[in-house]
Amino acid sequence: MSAPLPGRIVCFGEMLLRLSPPAGRLLAQASTLDLCTGGAEANVAVSLARLGHATAMVTTLPDSAPGQIAVDALRTHGVDVGGVRREPGRMGLYFLTPGAVLRPSEIVYDRAGSSFACADPAGYDWNALLAGAAWLHVSGISPAVGAAPARAVAEAMRSARALGVRVSFDGNYRASLWAARGEDGAGVLRALMARADLAFANGRDFALLLGRPELAQPEREDEAVAAAFAAFPHLGHIAFTRRRELSVQQHELRACLRTRDASGGAAEAGPYHLHEIVDRIGTGDAFAAGILDGLLRGEGPAAVAGFGLAAAVAKHSIAGDFNLASREQIAMVAAGALSVRR
């Protein structure tokens, strides 16, 4: 096995167990449920580990069999679990009903009162957890889960900036989670975005954060990106995808990478025309991992955007939350190589 690539990435967030009825069945019809492990930040950690990077997951899991399933899943794919806390409590769950034809997929969260949501933010020693790290990756999901995770994310980002660790922030806006808290989350997410070096967010996200709903219009995307760079001075890169859905299993996907430095310019990749999609959950996290991989490797914007998009496309063919595609498999997707490998 080759040595990990330079640059350790620390990911912080909640891990979940996903429960799904068989394809074509509604949750009310299911007599069995498929189980897999996931969570936005863990998905990124696993993807980057599969690409040869040293990654570590920081989270709190219940000291129970479901918690052990999550720990074992991380270990299986080479993610460092030294920063995983085990405490009494319950595991966060979500139920996914896969869509079909013109019926969209549906997700129901069951994560209130989880070990992660209730964990004391002071229990994370960020100076130790971020020692030797090149990047910290977090998302907007954690602060939506509760006040304690929101404080933990803010402290992680503050510590990273103080230590010279670059910060990757995926907006990952979850309206249903914020609604359960009785707020829209704009103020919280705006404060977190101000500490990020890399943002995975699009015009709709920035329209919410900046209180400028007119920027959510697709034709004002460039204006939204410019407004974000002006509002958040630490941001060096903004990356996002554009998805056109023709049916549940037929999508068109593109990627965009924007840089603050005018000489770096803008890069776009795609489109890919996706048919017979196996699983679209986790594709945004696969994209984030692909972008981080390219930046860590010092690639130019076009190569970074192209690899990030190919990673997302590859994930559409893989069941479960994790993108288990290798670098070679992602490269084959990018090259359009469809012949059987022998």
Q: Closest Cα to residue 143, out of 152, 134, 135?
A: 152
Please, which pLDDT band fits residue 1 given cuts at 50, 70 and 90? very low
- Interatomic CA distance for residues 312 and 274, integer angstroms: 11
Q: What is the pLDDT of residues 201-250, one digit of tens each?
A: 999 999 999 999 999 998 999 999 999 999 999 999 999 999 999 998 89
Q: What is the pLDDT of residues 242-294, one digit of tens each?
A: 999 999 889 999 999 999 976 657 899 999 999 999 999 999 999 999 999 99
| Res 4 pLDDT > 70 | no
Q: Closest Cα to residue 274, out of 313, 331, 309, 242?
A: 313
Q: Which pTM value belongs to this model?
A: 0.95
Burial (CB count <10 Å: 0-12, 13-18, 19+), residue 27: middle
pLDDT-above-90 percentage for the chain: 84
Enzyme catalytic residues? 285
Query: Over the range 67-94, which residues count as b (16 or more CB within 10 Å of their CB) and which as e?
Result: bebbbebbeebbbbbebbbeeebbbbbb
* Average pLDDT of the chain, as a whole number: 94
